[in-house]
Amino acid sequence: MDDRVAEQLLLALCRRSGGDVHLDLAELDSIDASGLIALLRGAATMCGDRYLVLHNAPVSLRPMLDVVGEAVGDSGVRVV
């Protein structure tokens, strides 16, 4: 599956969800900035007090989250 298709699926899932969306990222070896942007876009489509919850985030995601800091929390993304 290419990145564009994956992002479109994520956006559709987030828009249609009635609650939080939980993603288990355990199978990812790494994620780049475009992957983080896709996750942030997905979270931005969710209304109200719903969150995109990331489980088992790859190590490569942590430094990017540190750079964007509070903007991630405000975006509706939660990393557990």
Q: Is 18 helix (H, G, I), strand (E, B) or coil?
A: coil
Q: Helices 3-16 & 33-44, crossing angle to 10 degrees?
A: 20
Q: Is 78 helix (H, G, I), strand (E, B) or coil?
A: strand
| DSSP character at residue 53 | E
Distance CA 63, CA 46 (A): 25
Percentage of the chain modeled with pLDDT above 70 = 94
Residue pLDDT, tens place only, 17-39: 889 999 999 998 888 888 888 88
Greatest Cα pair distance, the chain, in angstroms, is 32
- Token pair, residue 76, equals 């509706």
Residue pLDDT, tens place only, 55-72: 999 988 888 888 887 666
Confidence band of 79 (pLDDT split at 50, 70, 90): confident
